[in-house]
Chain A
Amino acid sequence: MSAPAAAVGRAHPRLEGRAKVTGTARYAVEHPADGLAYGWAVQATVAKGRIVRVDTTAAEREPGVLAVLTHETAPRLNPVESPELLLLQQPRVRYRGEIVALVVAESLEAAREGARLVRLDYDTEPHSSVLTERHPSLYKPDHVNPAFPTDTCVGDFDAGYEAAEVRLDQTYRTPAYHNNPMEPHAATAYWADGRLLVHDSSQGTNDVRSTLGRLFELPAETIRVTAEHVGGGFGSKGTPRCTPVLAAMAARQVGRPVRLALTRQQLFGPVGYRTPVIQRIRLGADADGRLAAICHDAISQSSTIEEFAEQTAVLTRTLYAAPHRRTTHRLARLDVPTPSWMRAPGECPGSFALESAMDELAVACGVDPVELRLRNDTEIDPEEGVPFSSRNLAACLRDGARRFGWADRDPAPGVRRDGRWLVGTGVASAIYPARTPGASAEAAAGPDGTYQVRINATDIGTGARTALWQIAVDALGVPGDRVAISIGDSDLPPAYVAGGSAGTAGWGLSVDRACRSLRRQLDERYAGTAPPDGLSVRVDTTDEAAGLPRAPRYAFGAHFVEARVDVDSGEIRVPRMLGVFATGRVVNPSTARSQLIGGMTMGLSMALHEEGLLDQRFGDWVNRDLATYHVTACADVQRIEAYWVPDEDRGNPLGVKGLGEIGIVGSAAAVANAVHHATGLRLRTLPIQLDKLVDRLPVG
């Protein structure tokens, strides 16, 4: 057999592409079952208090309603790590929108009407739901997510800052952001013969299975959770959510399979969101813009239910050189839903502040903002004092500047006009950790020359299924049509959740190892062909992953943006976004590009469109749907390009770094910096919208 052309590195359409364009790919509440019932969640209408009376009479009288679950009637759950998941167990309300009842009915219509008829009376207490710099609950958490030190300090920031020729001290604010995957959180659950089967819209079903096992006191083998196709997650489906738990409780209660999908409106809170963040950045530099001192203080929020400490300032520990440096995180505990993971947690909001501040420093020093970043580049991790595994930030900045046509840029802000439009350009850097978690995988050869690769990875739209298949095809050294891959099922060998941009690096390594081991055994013991009853190999890369070189390992990137602001109305348009990234080896250029421009676009959305508007009287967001919580639409995205530079890095044996999140890091700052260059107005609070510009623009 001649060696087939390498699959890794070549664009390949998604394996499930046909299923997705023909409408046959099944998502969480699309699996058929006999005797289905439907769930509908009921949310608390107060921000803080206690349910003192439950009246389900009218709901139960509604034709078709099978059961109403409340804290008085729901099956008891066994404690788990996240108190969020102890649903319907007690009468306290910790935030407005907390799920306090579930109606189960014959039809969606009856369930919805039943939910409307559930009557709950509350004893309310005063609530506090707005994050401020001086909130009385502010404290220093023991660590920030996932396990970083809360504060760090190198050198003497105060002295270094005092002595600096140029000093900058600014505060940046970002609102709450809601992940809003297009598929709302949803699950179908069935109990049969003491076993529980759940189809969940989840980024990782291993954790869902083990959590359900603990909640219902069941051995893990009796539970199966699948997530074959997932309609996006962006972090919000990265931890076990209320939906599989409620669906399983309801299914147990009525003795039938239950489908439960949250409504779009119900997603604004109960499934997590990105915390609002208040960030103070101080930069001290010499007149040429070389940083001497850098300090990043971040304040974010969590609920009273559990701690969630966004790692906002962590990127400032590694992005630029400076002898004196400090980062801190403080957290307020409010009567709000618990924030959670959202695409590039930490780096995304943190980069808006740091990269805006770097632009302000460039202006203050009269140094080109690309050049300023190059001057502060470092081969050594500035806190750890050791070299990076690879660092191609400078290559991204230079290549991006060349492609974008940055060289002739006039630095003066607010001076370029094209008809009614003020025109400007902006730049920002990006950084995101490159991790390689261990995973298990199985590769099997059949006597007919076909191969089966099995791993409980999840493809939430990233292209993971296809990338892993490409890795497998190369490792097996056979034509692609002989290789099939199975993912998205907790019965498969366990693997890490789809998160942290670590899938291709971690799952990929495991798939590669399983396939290579199988190939070797076939070649050494069976002359290359599987025996009559097949041959199967299972590997676990936990030890190999733990033993990889410990050098600081990151992906890097640079964003270039053109912004136009209407001189009369303040309307903002972004005709061009260009990103260049150093993300190690790219397995599938086609899906990689989609991931990168998807992240960049979400950054555009953050810069211009998204804002959770909280009404403190109710302690809840008022814009809780897609008509009022705006996300970037087709007409908002004009020319958008993503490229990558060569980035050799064997810190992962496959050379992969991951790229699901880096596209959003720095993207919003680049837009804000371009708006400044266009108008001369510095917007330090997102989103940037015309009402913040219109009164301050030069008279047209």
Chain B
Amino acid sequence: MVRTSPRADLPEPPYRSPVRLSVNGRPHELDLDNRTTLLDALREHLGLIGAKKGCDHGQCGSCTVLLDGRRVKSCLAFAVAADGADLVSVEGLAEDGHLHPLQSCFVQHDAFQCGYCTSGQLCSALGMLDELRQGWPSVVTPDLAAGPDGLTEPEIRERMSGNICRCAAYPHIVSAIREAAAAEGVR
């Protein structure tokens, strides 16, 4: 990082740490201010602007990424605490220029308008489908012990409610997820 502080009389802040992150399969070694969130590490240090900052307080979901396979709100995690982690952000979903089925279903179903929540919705949907596959119940699961009985609309709506879309593309998000999941054999 280029440091051009005119306050050269002051010592470098002591509170920095080396952080190793694998992002979308690529290793990165960073030297970060300990206060840097995972979200800011991606956006401001790695130039990966896909994850968005909608609230910086874990209240909107637009910063959602997959951390070691699970969906997390990257604005709530400090990058130093994720040292060694394996991250997948929206930039990592397409392979060789081919959109992930979720991405193409989002486009086909018009599952976004302004697009600002979209990266978070996509990463959240991926994590959510995996949770469902593992049989995690949600508050709308009729029988908690038996687990969810498939990818019903109420299950999707409930499980996607941590991702706010002020444009309110919700019904299209739900239908896009259903179609993409069906294509992948999740029902």
Name A's B-contacting residues (CB within 8 A).
Answer: 13-14, 16-27, 30, 32, 35, 61, 63-66, 106-110, 113, 180-184, 229-232, 234, 256, 261, 263-264, 460-463, 590-591, 593-595, 597-598, 601-602, 605, 625-627, 631-640
Is B115 within 8 A of A461, CB to CB? yes
Cα of A332 to Cα of B33 in the assembled complex, Å: 48
Q: Does B36 contact A (CB under 8 A)?
A: yes
Is A631 within 8 A of B3, CB to CB? no
Instruction: Please indicate the chain B residues that have their CB under 8 angstroms from the CB of A64 in the complex.
Output: 5, 7, 13
Instruction: Please indicate the chain B residues that have their CB under 8 angstroms from the CB of A113 in the complex.
Output: 35
Contact of A25 (CB < 8 Å), options: B115, B122, B167: B115
Is A634 within 8 A of B115, CB to CB? no
Distance in Å: Cβ of A185 to nearest Cβ of chain B: 12
Cα of A26 to Cα of B43 in the assembled complex, Å: 11
Instruction: Please indicate the chain B residues that have their CB under 8 angstroms from the CB of A66 in the complex.
Output: 5-7
**Beyond A23-B89, A598-B169, A626-B60, is A229–B115 a contact (Cβ under 8 Å)?**
yes
Instruction: Please indicate the chain A residues that have their CB under 8 angstroms from the CB of B52 in the complex.
Output: 27, 182-183, 231
Instruction: Please indicate the chain A residues that have their CB under 8 angstroms from the CB of B165 in the complex.
Output: 182, 634
**Beyond A22-B91, A183-B114, is A631–B55 a contact (Cβ under 8 Å)?**
no
**Beyond A182-B60, A264-B57, is A13–B108 a contact (Cβ under 8 Å)?**
yes
**Beyond A21-B122, A22-B99, A591-B110, is A183–B54 a contact (Cβ under 8 Å)?**
yes
Distance in Å: Cβ of B91 to nearest Cβ of chain A: 5
**Beyond A21-B99, A626-B164, is A264–B59 a contact (Cβ under 8 Å)?**
yes
Distance in Å: Cβ of A188 to nearest Cβ of chain B: 12
Q: Does B49 contact A (CB under 8 A)?
A: yes
Is A27 within 8 A of B116, CB to CB? yes
Cα of A23 to Cα of B4 in the assembled complex, Å: 30
Kindly list 15 other residue pairs between chains A and B, CB separation below 8 angstroms, not including A63-B7, A463-B113. Answer: A27-B49, A27-B52, A64-B5, A64-B13, A108-B44, A182-B117, A183-B116, A229-B114, A230-B114, A594-B167, A598-B167, A625-B57, A626-B57, A634-B170, A638-B157
Is B90 within 8 A of A21, CB to CB? yes
Cα of A66 to Cα of B113 in the assembled complex, Å: 37
Is B56 within 8 A of A264, CB to CB? yes
Is A182 within 8 A of B114, CB to CB? yes
Distance in Å: Cβ of A269 to nearest Cβ of chain B: 16
> B15-43 interface mask toward A, CB cutoff 8 Å, 1 = contact, 0 = none?
00000000000000000010110001001
Nearest-neighbor residue (CB-CB) of A588 within chain B: B110
Is A594 within 8 A of B57, CB to CB? no
Instruction: Please indicate the chain A residues that have their CB under 8 angstroms from the CB of B50 in the complex.
Output: 22-24
Is B110 within 8 A of A109, CB to CB? no
**Beyond A14-B107, A181-B116, A183-B114, is A264–B49 a contact (Cβ under 8 Å)?**
no
Nearest-neighbor residue (CB-CB) of A183 within chain B: B116
Cα of A51 to Cα of B3 in the assembled complex, Å: 34
Is A14 within 8 A of B116, CB to CB? no
Cα of A16 to Cα of B52 in the assembled complex, Å: 17
Q: Give 8 pairs: A residue, B residue, CB < 8 Å, sorted on A.
A: A21-B122, A182-B52, A231-B116, A626-B54, A626-B60, A633-B161, A634-B157, A639-B171
Instruction: Please indicate the chain B residues that have their CB under 8 angstroms from the CB of A23 in the complex.
Output: 48-51, 89-91, 119
User: What 10 pairs between A and B have smallest CB-CB spacing?
Assistant: A23-B50, A231-B116, A461-B114, A20-B115, A461-B113, A601-B168, A23-B90, A17-B107, A626-B59, A30-B49
- In B48-71, which residues have CB < 8 Å from any A CB? 48-57, 59-60, 62
Contact of B168 (CB < 8 Å), options: A184, A264, A597, A625: A597
Instruction: Please indicate the chain B residues that have their CB under 8 angstroms from the CB of A16 in the complex.
Output: 115
Is B103 within 8 A of A22, CB to CB? yes
Q: Does B145 contact A (CB under 8 A)?
A: no
Nearest-neighbor residue (CB-CB) of B160 within chain A: A634
**Beyond A181-B114, A182-B62, A598-B167, is A627–B57 a contact (Cβ under 8 Å)?**
yes
**Beyond A264-B56, A631-B164, is A106–B3 a contact (Cβ under 8 Å)?**
yes
> B79-95 interface mask toward A, CB cutoff 8 Å, 1 = contact, 0 = none?
00000000001110110
Contact of B164 (CB < 8 Å), options: A63, A263, A461, A633: A633
Instruction: Please indicate the chain A residues that have their CB under 8 angstroms from the CB of B163 in the complex.
Output: 634
Cα of A626 to Cα of B117 in the assembled complex, Å: 14
Q: Does B173 contact A (CB under 8 A)?
A: yes
Cα of A21 to Cα of B104 in the assembled complex, Å: 8
Instruction: Please indicate the chain B residues that have their CB under 8 angstroms from the CB of A640 in the complex.
Output: 171
Distance in Å: Cβ of A13 to nearest Cβ of chain B: 5
Interface centre among A18, A21, A184, A633 (most CB of B within 10 A): A21
Q: Does B174 contact A (CB under 8 A)?
A: yes
Distance in Å: Cβ of A61 to nearest Cβ of chain B: 8
**Beyond A109-B35, A625-B57, is A594–B110 a contact (Cβ under 8 Å)?**
yes
Is B107 within 8 A of A626, CB to CB? no
Instruction: Please indicate the chain A residues that have their CB under 8 angstroms from the CB of B106 in the complex.
Output: 17, 21
Nearest-neighbor residue (CB-CB) of A64 within chain B: B5
Is A22 within 8 A of B93, CB to CB? yes
Instruction: Please indicate the chain B residues that have their CB under 8 angstroms from the CB of A230 in the complex.
Output: 114
